[in-house]
Every structure is written in structure tokens, then in C-alpha cells.
Amino acid sequence: MDCFVCHDGLYDGNAGECTAFSPEDVVRTADRVIAEGRGVSYTEARMLQNVPLGILKDAAARITEACASRKFDTCSIINGKSGRCPEDCKWCAQSAHYHAHVREYPLVSADTLVRAAEFSRSKGIGRFSIVTSGKKLSSAEVAQLCESVRILSEKVCISLCLSAGLLSETQMRALREAGISRYHCNLESAPSYFGRLCTTHSQEEKIEVLKAARNAGMEICSGGIIGMGETPAQRIELAMALRELGVKSVPVNILAPIKGTPLENMPLISEDDVLRTIAIFRFILPDAALRFAGGRARLSAGATSEAYRIGINASIMGDMLTTAGADIDTDIARIRAAGYCV
């Protein structure tokens, strides 16, 4: 019987000795996840890193089929306030610390939001997300946005999401009352790696924001970016942190290095690395909406379809904040071909 041995010194905490996965172990582990609806442990996820990719993908596909929604969760985003952000996130073109070329403008008008939301709705997209640059919105900006959201809710039948930084629970409650039903704040990377990517705010602050949004009655959405120099083990660490928070909407971004940012020369991770990460995330988060987000437009058609099979059951459609996205109609055709309802 072939075994896929853990080569990095990982040990089973109960047995006290090195562990390995056989093909039968992978199948049994997937069966257990499906039966219990509970994701694998950190140790098991690390062992899955050593499993041949084909075996891992087939097992993840079984979990996806059994545990994840077959109704594909679609959303679109609008850059509702752009540029001159005081934060120093190394991946971001909107940071004022760097020299990427992005448009700069204040909060967009209610009319602009309505037009963008109407377009998304015409394409069959179920959720519209407003994303703003900066550490957080001012009180005046929150008041302006609440009024815009009320107008938007009246004119367009679409669920609304917001990503506006480190807001307070009081501000969250006002936005929830105006019509925002989900709040987004990415953890971005593993707790052990985040501090190497951003120094002007902490991951703990992001976690408090997610808790405040939930306390205000919103759903929460949080994920990260892979390919920023983190290790595969740190990707698992990120997924575990998201599970600990009970996040059910998990954006999976793939770094698209942007000229003028500190990560502009970061080598692209391979399609196989992307697919392995998605498969392991599905083992950890069996019922979550794993959401394709930024950077996935560079994937081949084959890799994209395979991602849908093994774990991706949600997506941001169309353009991203500062980079081009994939064609919406092409996306929808591929999603339906993968057996999802849209």
C-alpha cells in the first residue's frame, strides 16, 4: 500500500509519532467529513499537502458535492471610494505609501451605485458589494452611505454587502438598518504572516470588526490572498482561523502583483498550487461558500472548471477593485457546465 508521508516533521499529537496518509486514508477522511459535516484538523490538513493532487482533488470534489451548496453564490463589487489609503498593505495599489497608478475619488453617488447594481442584477448576480478604500469611513461618510444604501435598496432588488474597514458596532447597526446584510473584511493571510504584510493595523482589529458586524445582525464574509510569499502551512492556518470565526463566505484571492507595490515582483503561484489550496480549504470548510475573487482571471479554462468541481461554489463576477476580472457571461456558462444552479 502506498503511503504519502509527512516530510516536514509533523507529528500526531495523540500517537506521538510521524503520520502518513494512504489513498484509503484520504477516502476515509473525506467520508468522515461528509458524515459529520465537520472539517479536518490542522494536522490532517498538513498531511493532505503531501497527497498526490489527483487523489486530493477527487476527494475534495466528493465533499463539495455532498456538503456545499449547489446554488452558486454570485456577487459583484464596486470601488465605492478609491485611492489615497493611509494603510501600508503590501499587496494593495490603493495605498498612499506606494506608487501604483489608480484613480482617486471620494464616495460615489447613490445614482452611481444604483446604475452598477442594476447592471449586476440584469446579469443574474445575486449580491452587490460596495468596497471603500481607507482604514475606515468617517462618521459623515457613514451617514452619506446609509442614505445611498436606502435609495439603492428601494430601487434595486439585490442583496447588499459592504467592505468599509474598521467600523464600530454602532456604525454597523446604522448600515444594517439602511439595508446592508453582509459585511466583508478579509483576514488576508495567516495570523503568523499578516504582520509581514501590513503594519498600520492588526489582524486582531479585523477580527473585532467581523464580530461587531455579526453582533449588529449582519452575515460576515472573510478570506484572504494566496501567493504573497506565505507557506502552504500558513494557508492552512488562515483557513483554520476563518473556521474558528464561523465564516461561511470565504473569498479566495490569488495575488495579481501590481506594479508600484512591494509585491510587484512576487512570482506567480502555479495553477496546481491554487487547486491544492482550494481542495484543502474544502476539507477544512466543508459547507462554506468558497468564493473565487481577485486574480483568478489568469487561470486557464481547464483550471477554472476544475476549481468549480473541487471546491469553488461562489464567485465575485466581473471586474475587481483595481484589476480586470473575467467575462460574466463566460463565467456563468462554465458554472452551469460544472453542474451548479446560478
Q: What CATH number corresponds to the domain at position 244?
A: 3.20.20.70
Among 45, 66, 87, which residue terminates a domain? 66
Residues 178 and 277 in one domain: yes
Is the CB of residue 153 less than 8 Å from the CB of residue 113? no
Among 18, 44, 66, which residue terminates a domain? 66
Is 342 a domain residue?
no
What pLDDT is recorded for position 187? 98
Is 317 a domain residue?
yes
Q: Which of 1, 2, 5 is nearest to 18 (CA)?
A: 5
What pLDDT is recorded for position 204? 98
Residues 129 and 186 in one domain: yes
For the chain, 342 residues long, the average pLDDT of each consecutive 10-residue run is 42 44 94 98 95 97 98 95 91 89 90 95 94 95 98 97 97 98 98 97 98 98 98 98 98 95 96 98 98 93 96 87 68 92 90
Residues 250 and 167 in one domain: yes
Residues 145 and 262 in one domain: yes
Is the CB of residue 294 less than 8 Å from the CB of residue 254? yes
What pLDDT is recorded for position 16? 39
Residues 181 and 37 in one domain: no
What pLDDT is recorded for position 9? 35
DSSP 296: G
Residues 54 and 198 in one domain: no
Whole-model pTM?
0.92
Residues 181 and 248 in one domain: yes
C-alpha cell at 27: 477516502
CA distances from 331 to 30, 63, 72, 112 (A): 28, 23, 11, 25
Among 66, 95, 114, which residue terminates a domain? 66
In this structure, are strands 224-226 and 219-221 parallel, antiparallel, or unpaired? unpaired
Residues 53 and 122 in one domain: no
Is 151 a domain residue?
yes
Residues 145 and 169 in one domain: yes
Is 146 a domain residue?
yes
What pLDDT is recorded for position 326? 67
Residues 25 and 108 in one domain: no
Is the CB of residue 246 less than 8 Å from the CB of residue 217? no
Range of the domain at 276: 70-337
Torsion sign over Cα 185, 91, 253, 318? positive
Residues 55 and 193 in one domain: no
- What's the total number of domains in the chain? 2
Specify which residues 5 forms β-bridges with.
20
Residues 28 and 82 in one domain: no
What pLDDT is recorded for position 321? 59
User: Which residues in 264-296 are b (16+ Cβ under 10 Å) and which e?
Assistant: eebeebebebbbbbbbbbbbbbbbbbbbbbbbb
Is 37 a domain residue?
yes
